[in-house]
Every structure is written in C-alpha cells, then in structure tokens.
C-alpha cells in the first residue's frame, strides 16, 4: 500500500518525538554525572590543614603558650592587684605628710579639725586598698599586701612560674595597710571590728580565737597615749581597755591617737610615724614591684609570641584557601565547558531534526491548471 507524504511526516514526527525524549533523558543523565564528578573533585580538594606541617607546628606552639599563660593568670592578677594598690597607697602616704607639714604652725582650730578629718579619710583609704587586693589562686584567697591580723601581720607569699621551661619567682608579700591592736596586761589582743562597731578580745598566740569578751565602740575614745612606749588607754565611760599598741604594716594611727592634731607636737608625732611608714613602704613595695614587673614582662613576651604565631597560622590558612579556590575554579571551568559542548550537540541535533521534518512535510498544490491535475 502506498504511503503519502503526510503519513511519512507523521511517522517521522512520532519517531523523532520518541528519539527526542530519549535524547533528553541522555542529556539529563550526562549532566547529572558531570555534577557528581564536580562535587567529587571539590570534596577531594577540601582544605586539609592537618597535612600542612608548618600549620601544625604553629598551632601546637600557640596552644602550649596559651595553656601556660592561663595557668599563671591568677598569679599575675594577684601580683598586679597588689602592685596597683601599692601605687595608690604611696600617693596617700605622701598626701598625708604634705597636708600635715602644711598644718604646722597653724593657729586655726578649724584647720586642725579639717586636717584630722582628711587624715582619717586617707588612713581608711590605705586600709581599703590593702584589704581589697584579693585574688583567688588555686581556690585560695591570696592578698600579698593585706587581709591579715596581729600579732605578726603576715601576708601571703606566692611562688609562680615565670616561663614554661621551669623558671620560678617568689612574690613575697608584705602588709602595706596600717592597722593596730591593743595588747592588754594579760596578753590578750583587743581589735576593732568596723562592721560590728565593737572592740573584741582575742587570744594573741596566733590562733585568733575570740575569748567572748567585747565592748561597744560607741563613745570609745583615747583617754591617754604615750608615743614613747605606745601605751594607751581607751574608754567609753563604762568599759576601759588599757594596754600597748601592736602596730601592723605602715604603723600609722588614725588622728585620734595624735590628739586630733590639737598642737604641733601631735602633728610632728604623726609626721614621724609617716616618715617611718614611707621607709617601710619603700623597702617592701620595691621588692614586690620588681618581681611583679619581671612576671608581667614574661607574660608580655608570651602574648607577643602567641600573636606572631596566630598571624602565621592566619597566613597559612589564607594560602591554603586561595590554593583550594584556584582548584575549584578550574573544576568549575571544566564543568562549564562540558555543559557548553552538550548544548552545542543538542542544538545541532535539533537543527537536523527540523530539516528532516521540512523534507517530510507535504507540499502545497500549485495554483491554476497544474493544481487541478495534482501538481
């Protein structure tokens, strides 16, 4: 049976449609394989810092230095707090002395009362600074210049590494506050407790055990004071404490023990105590400052080395990332070229199919007489 051109076109269309579907499926499969291959290449090219010997060396060194720095950080804080507090105490002492020297020869009771008030403020400042230089080190409270009591007024001593190779330094504490206690004839120590506003009696054998005897500090005032032997009597009109002063640290007293600077003799007694305090302070703070500066200098060098190592690590990371990015760009370029080739093949095939369809399509009949005869 003869087949017309129309039928041939239909057959070709049907077959080409089937082939086109199959071709598109092949193109999809090829594209999926290309994407998988690209991802595999990118996975193989992921940045592997552990394979870089310089990176591993720098990181290990940095971690060790940081661990050592963390290990001594509390010691550094304890020393720094003591050093900073000492610098303020020095200023307070100098201010005390200059104010009293300016008071000598004054005939104004108001000036003397004002000087006494300012003196007591500085006295309290010194004790607050000394008692506030606390730091927890190995679960213990460490204060190199304060937080102590009589009879010996001992402070903590700190042994601290100065470098990871085994160097050590001793941060020997010294009491830089200025408190006192009164030792009575029976050998008991009377101490003023500001928080409770009482004078409380303690055993003076170093055990710091309270005896249970205490007097209110309200209206308790100095009745007599002999600076030649530090004998003193306090009374509030009902209770009396008599004994000998045991001075701690700087050894300066509050203004009441200097008759509130009622005359130049009392002022000079305070100045003499301040001069002795300055000598004591210079001796003990110089040692503390020197050892603290040594420790801080080593810490600064460690911090500088850590910073240099971290900079080196950052440079190595940047180099690895840039190298990896270049590999990824090359893989992406190969993928794009492959996709372009597939597109070109697909376009060429579509052009061939279109030509075949045009050849298989029936031709329009000619016009006029030739058309009547089927031409």
Q: pLDDT tens-digit profile of 289-321?
A: 888 888 877 777 777 776 776 776 676 667 666
Spatial distance between the Cα atoms of 49 and 180, rounded to a whole number of angstroms:
63
- Which strands sit side by side in the sheet containing 180-183, from one edge to the other? 210-216, 198-202, 189-193, 180-183, 240-247, 231-235, 221-226
157-182: pLDDT as tens digits: 888 877 667 677 788 899 999 999 99
15-49: pLDDT as tens digits: 555 555 555 555 566 666 656 665 665 545 455 66
Spatial distance between the Cα atoms of 339 and 345, rounded to a whole number of angstroms:
10
Q: Domain boundaries in the chain?
A: 5-46+318-364, 180-247
* pLDDT of amino acid 5: 46
**CA distance between the termini of the chain:** 21
Provide the residue count of the chain.
Answer: 375
Instruction: Please answer whether residues 210 and 202 qualify as being in contact, where contact means their C-beta atoms are separated by less than 8 angstroms.
Output: yes
Q: Is the predicted pLDDT of residue 249 greater than 60, yes or no?
A: yes
Q: Is the predicted pLDDT of residue 347 greater than 50, yes or no?
A: yes
* pLDDT of amino acid 114: 97
* pLDDT of amino acid 315: 65
> Using a CB cutoff of 8 Å and minimum separation of 24, what contacts does 221-229 make?
221/256, 222/256, 222/257, 225/257, 225/259, 227/269
pTM exceeds 0.85: no
pLDDT band, very low/low/confident/very high, at 3 (cuts 50, 70, 90) = very low
Of all helices (H) and strands (E), which one includes residue 210? Answer: strand 210-216
Spatial distance between the Cα atoms of 233 and 182, rounded to a whole number of angstroms:
9
Spatial distance between the Cα atoms of 286 and 280, rounded to a whole number of angstroms:
10
The CATH T-level fold of domain 180-247 is: PH-domain like (2.30.29)
Of all helices (H) and strands (E), which one includes residue 355? Answer: helix 264-360
Average pLDDT of the chain is: 81
Q: Is the predicted pLDDT of residue 73 greater than 80, yes or no?
A: yes
* pLDDT of amino acid 208: 85
Of all helices (H) and strands (E), which one includes residue 125? Answer: helix 109-131
DSSP-assigned letter for residue 237: S
Instruction: Please answer whether residues 253 and 180 qualify as being in contact, where contact means their C-beta atoms are separated by less than 8 angstroms.
Output: yes
For the chain, percent of residues with pLDDT exceeding 90: 48
């Amino acid at each position: 049976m003869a087949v017309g051109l129309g039928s041939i076109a239909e057959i070709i269309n049907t077959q080409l449609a089937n082939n086109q579907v199959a071709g598109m499926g092949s193109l999809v499969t090829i594209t999926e394989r290309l994407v998988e291959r690209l991802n595999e290449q990118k996975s193989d090219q992921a940045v592997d810092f552990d394979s870089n010997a310089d990176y591993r060396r720098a990181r290990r060194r940095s971690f060790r230095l940081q661990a050592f720095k963390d290990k001594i950080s509390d010691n550094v804080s304890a020393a720094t707090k003591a050093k900073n507090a000492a610098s303020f105490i020095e200023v307070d002492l100098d201010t005390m002395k200059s104010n009293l020297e300016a008071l000598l020869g004054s005939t104004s009771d108001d000036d003397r009362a004002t000087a006494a008030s300012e003196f007591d403020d500085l006295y309290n400042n010194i004790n607050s600074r000394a008692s506030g230089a606390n730091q927890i080190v190995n679960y213990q409270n460490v204060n190199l210049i304060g937080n102590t009591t009589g009879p010996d007024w001992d402070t903590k001593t700190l042994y601290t590494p100065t470098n990871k190779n085994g160097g050590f330094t001793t941060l020997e504490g010294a009491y830089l506050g200025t408190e006192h206690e009164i030792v009575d004839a029976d050998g008991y120590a009377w101490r003023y407790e500001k928080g409770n506003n009482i004078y409380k009696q303690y055993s003076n054998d170093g055990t710091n055990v309270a005896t249970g005897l205490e007097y209110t500090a309200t209206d308790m005032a100095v009745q007599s004071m002999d600076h030649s032997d530090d004998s003193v009597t306090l009374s509030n009109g009902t209770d009396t404490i008599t004994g000998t002063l045991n001075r701690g640290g700087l050894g300066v007293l509050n203004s009441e023990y200097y008759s509130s600077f009622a005359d130049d003799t009392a002022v000079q007694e305070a100045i003499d105590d301040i001069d002795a305090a300055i000598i004591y302070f210079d001796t003990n703070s110089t040692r503390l400052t020197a050892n603290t500066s040594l420790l801080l200098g080593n810490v600064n060098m460690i911090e500088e080395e850590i910073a240099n190592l971290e900079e080196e690590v950052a440079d190595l990371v940047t180099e690895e990332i840039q190298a990896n990015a270049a590999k990824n760009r090359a893989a992406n370029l190969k993928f794009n070229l492959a996709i372009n080739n597939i597109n070109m093949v697909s376009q060429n095939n579509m052009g061939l199919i279109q030509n075949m369809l045009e050849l298989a399509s029936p031709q329009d009949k000619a016009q006029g007489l030739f058309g009547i005869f089927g031409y």
